[in-house]
Amino acid sequence: MRGILAAGVAAAVVLTSGGAADAAAYPKYETPKIFGTTFQADPKHDFTKGIHSRRNGILRGWITHVRGGTAEYVPIRWKKGKHTQGNFVGPREGHVGAYASPIAKNVVFLSAYGCKATMSNLTVSRKTGLGAKKCPRAALIKRHGTNAHPSLITVYKGRIVKVQEIYIP
């Protein structure tokens, strides 16, 4: 009887922790400086072989285009302003430095502005300035497919597995 009870408890734990297993399915990578003033280098990436996925890790960047579940994205950097705090900028026009990766079906999208298209709710961690509200994959594709939003983009095994928006006041 105890064996059956223990097996039942173990099965319940496995069933309830399914979401956590998906979220922890990739290693923890070093997070880049959120407001870094240089583009993140990728010395092992061969840009002469066409646009393809970035190596495993976290890129401070923004998604420039989404088509058929594949996102194109570029690195960004913080440019200090003379009259304002500054803003994020991408590579100059014509720069060869874009990536393309499929968006994982179970992607973790942490929004800084809520899940609705109006982006009227602030859902930011006050501690980090990063998005804290988990939203569906469809919201990610709809929002980032039309407008570039600064984000931390996590790539694992050639797929985008996490996108966390950076809040800019």
- Using one digit for the tens of pLDDT, what is the confidence trace for 100-136? 999 999 999 999 999 887 777 888 888 899 999 999 9
Q: Where are the beta strands (DSSP E) in the chain?
A: 57-67, 70-75, 77-80, 86-89, 99-111, 133-135, 151-156, 159-165
The mean pLDDT of 62-77, rounded to a whole number, is 93
| CA within 13 Å, CB half, 27 | 7
- Provide the pLDDT for residue 137: 95
Considering Cα of 41, then 44, then 50, then 55, what sign does the dihedral take? negative
- Provide the pLDDT for residue 16: 36
The mean pLDDT of 37-50, rounded to a whole number, is 79
Give the angle subtended at the CA of 103 by the CAs of 124 and 134, to the nearest 5°: 25
The domains of the chain are located at: 32-165
